[in-house]
């Protein structure tokens, strides 16, 4: 089954249960300063959940593009994480609650007409105090008690907004993925034999700005299933990156780099990271985010530069990521036309950023290589903060790029020292501006400009060396 069919089936299934299909919202949150990115299917629907807006239909379903930067380090290492993924969701705004949510999830996953998973392979987790959820799984669905795990972590809370206990569904991928005697294999463990596919959140409370919790006027259902994970199971492949959502990107990269996939672990990691990052960046730029030195723009810059560096480990020494944008469009365009419609713009932004980074990349990597060598020779395992700062300031290496490289050589980087150098430079830049006078305007329309110029001035300083405008 193709990923696009799974997505369509999801939407059709919940439509048949009276849900309205909502298109995916932008990755950039609208009117929500608490979030950098849309990171769950429910995020763009918050106004419905906290009662600010009443939807026409209290049942909603969607396939929402999401970005989770906290998963950057996992990409290429686990089978199941990307920085951008599609969360398939069904939502009830004060309408149905636990019983229907659980019954429909089971029906969708196990009915041969829909996903057709072998029911014997499924296990679930519940919040220890949520006897109600336990009962539905055990008595109504007929799941034996030993396949219902009680986990303290099963409370869903993403900061300000709706929250509550949850129940999660795991698929047993079988012997080849781990030994049952290892508790890390069980749901919630680090091993991926039991793959978490779906989280059903019973949102009963609102997490307020001041940190307090109050019961929501109506109880809601908020669920999220990973499209890439469902696809990896249905296509019977090793990881999300081996599905039709990623393979064409990996295959094109293999052609460009003249390497083979699944022949060498290091190469595979590089290919997965590149495939992941280019997809995320293409979508983010399509949603209007430009590479920069702060906020979302900085995330995009980090991802791009990280992908460039991984490209370099495959001996690709020229801009190439922009060539993958059309491949991403080919895979995703049917549901996300924006990546196709804005292709030329996205390519241009990525190409420019790649070209600029390439100008300093080799020099930066040479310096980094020296630093590692010198440190190793003297038995050290730490790269100094001032060195990391020089790499950032002069060669445009985001901190985590230096950290990645160091980690590959069994070393760490002095974060505190890096932050201190950054702060010193800020102070110097501020003082320099005050010396030249004129910029130090208090009040009036220029005050705003001054406040901004402080940051931009610092950025310019940073970017000059990196030859990025």
Quote the tokens at residue 88. Answer: 């398939």
228 binds ligand ATP (CB under 6 A): yes
CA distance 145 to 127: 14
Q: Which residues pair with 156 in a beta bridge?
A: 164
Q: Does 27 bind ligand ATP (CB under 6 A)?
A: no
Q: How far is the CB of 31 from Mg ion (least distance, A)?
A: 26
Residue pair 207/162 in contact by the 8 Å Cβ criterion: yes
Please select the residue that binds ligand ATP; options are 85, 136, 310, 357, rule is CB under 6 A. 85
Beta strands in 108-267 (DSSP E): 122-126, 148-150, 155-156, 161-172, 194-207, 213-226
Count of residues in contact with ligand ATP, rule CB under 6 A: 16
List Cα–Cα distances, 174 to 92, 148, 185, 186, in angstroms: 33, 18, 10, 12
Least distance CB 259 / ligand ATP (angstroms): 24
Which lies closer to Mg ion via its Cβ, residue 15 or residue 182? Answer: 182
82, 167, 199, 206: residue in contact with Mg ion (rule CB under 5 A): 199
The pair of structure tokens assigned to 164 is 């509550």
**Residue selected from 81, 302, 306, 390 as contacting ligand ATP according to rule CB under 6 A:** 81
CA distances from 441 to 119, 353, 434 (A): 69, 34, 10
Q: Is 76 in the site for ligand ATP (CB under 6 A)?
A: no
The residues near 433 (Cβ < 8 Å, ≥ 6 apart) are: 439, 440, 453, 454, 457
Nearer CB in complex with Mg ion: 61/223: 223
CA distance linking residue 133 with residue 59, whole number of Å: 20
The reply to whether 229 sits near ligand ATP by the rule CB under 6 A is yes
Question: Please, which of residues 401-460 interact with ligand ATP by CB under 6 A?
Answer: none
Residues contacting 446, CB < 8 A, separation 6+: none
Pick the stretch among 5-13, 197-205, 368-376, 414-422 that binds Mg ion (CB under 5 A): 197-205
171 versus 320: smaller Cβ distance to ligand ATP: 171
Residue 202 CA to residue 105 CA, distance in Å, equals 13
Stretch that binds ligand ATP, among 137-145, 220-228, 310-318, 461-469 (CB under 6 A): 220-228
Binding-site member from 45, 225, 411, 429 for ligand ATP (CB under 6 A): 225
- Out of Mg ion, ligand ATP, none, what residue 198 binds, judged by CB under 5 to 8 A for its kind, is ligand ATP
Least Å distance, CB 221 to Mg ion, is: 15
Give the chain's count of helices (H) and strands (E): 15, 11
Q: Which residue has its beta carbon closest to Mg ion?
A: 199
Among 61, 64, 82, 125, binds ligand ATP (CB under 6 A): 82
Site residues for ligand ATP per CB under 6 A: 68, 71, 80-82, 85, 87, 196-199, 224-226, 228-229
Site residues for Mg ion per CB under 5 A: 196, 199
């Amino acid at each position: 089954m193709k990923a696009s069919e799974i997505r369509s089936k999801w939407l059709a299934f919940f439509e048949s249960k009276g849900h309205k299909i909502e298109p995916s919202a932008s990755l950039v949150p609208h009117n929500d300063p608490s979030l950098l990115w849309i990171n769950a299917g429910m995020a763009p629907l918050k106004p419905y959940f906290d009662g600010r807006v009443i939807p026409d239909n209290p049942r909603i379903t969607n396939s929402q593009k999401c970005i989770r930067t906290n998963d950057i380090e996992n990409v290429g290492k686990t089978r199941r994480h990307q920085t951008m993924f599609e969360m398939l969701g069904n939502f009830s705004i004060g309408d149905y609650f636990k019983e229907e949510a659980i019954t429909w999830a089971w029906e969708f996953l196990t009915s041969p007409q829909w996903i057709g998973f072998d029911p014997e392979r499924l296990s679930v987790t519940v919040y220890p105090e949520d006897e109600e959820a336990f009962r539905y799984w055990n008595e109504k669905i007929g799941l034996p008690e030993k396949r219902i795990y009680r986990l303290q972590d099963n409370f869903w809370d993403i900061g300000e907004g709706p929250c509550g206990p949850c129940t999660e569904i795991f698929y047993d991928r079988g012997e080849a993925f781990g030994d049952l005697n290892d508790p890390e294999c069980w749901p919630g463990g680090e091993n991926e034999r039991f793959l978490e596919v779906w989280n059903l959140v019973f949102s009963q409370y609102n997490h307020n700005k001041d940190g307090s919790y109050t019961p929501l006027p109506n109880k809601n259902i908020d669920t999220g299933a990973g499209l890439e994970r469902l696809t990896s199971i249905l296509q019977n492949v090793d990881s999300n990156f081996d599905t039709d959502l990623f393979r064409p990107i990996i295959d094109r990269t293999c052609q460009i780099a003249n390497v083979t996939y699944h022949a060498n672990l290091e190469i595979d990691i590089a290919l997965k990271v590149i495939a992941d990052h280019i997809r995320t960046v293409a979508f983010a730029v399509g949603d209007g985010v430009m590479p920069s030195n702060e906020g979302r723009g900085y995330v995009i810059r980090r991802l791009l530069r990280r992908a460039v560096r991984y490209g370099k480990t495959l001996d690709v020494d020229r801009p190439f990521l922009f060539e993958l944008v059309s491949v991403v469009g080919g895979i995703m365009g049917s549901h996300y036309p924006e990546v196709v419609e804005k292709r030329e713009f996205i390519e241009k932004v990525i190409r420019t950023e790649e070209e600029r980074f390439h100008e300093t990349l080799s020099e930066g990597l040479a310096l980094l290589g020296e630093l590692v060598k010198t440190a190793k020779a003297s038995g050290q395992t730490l790269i100094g903060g001032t060195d990391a700062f020089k790499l950032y300031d002069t060669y445009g290496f985001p901190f985590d790029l230096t950290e990645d490289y160091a980690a590959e050589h069994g070393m760490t980087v002095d974060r505190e020292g890096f932050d201190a150098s950054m702060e010193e430079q800020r102070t110097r830049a501020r003082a320099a501006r005050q010396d030249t006078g004129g910029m130090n305007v208090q009040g009036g329309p220029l005050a705003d400009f001054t406040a901004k110029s402080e940051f931009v001035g610092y950025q310019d300083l940073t970017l000059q060396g990196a030859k990025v405008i």
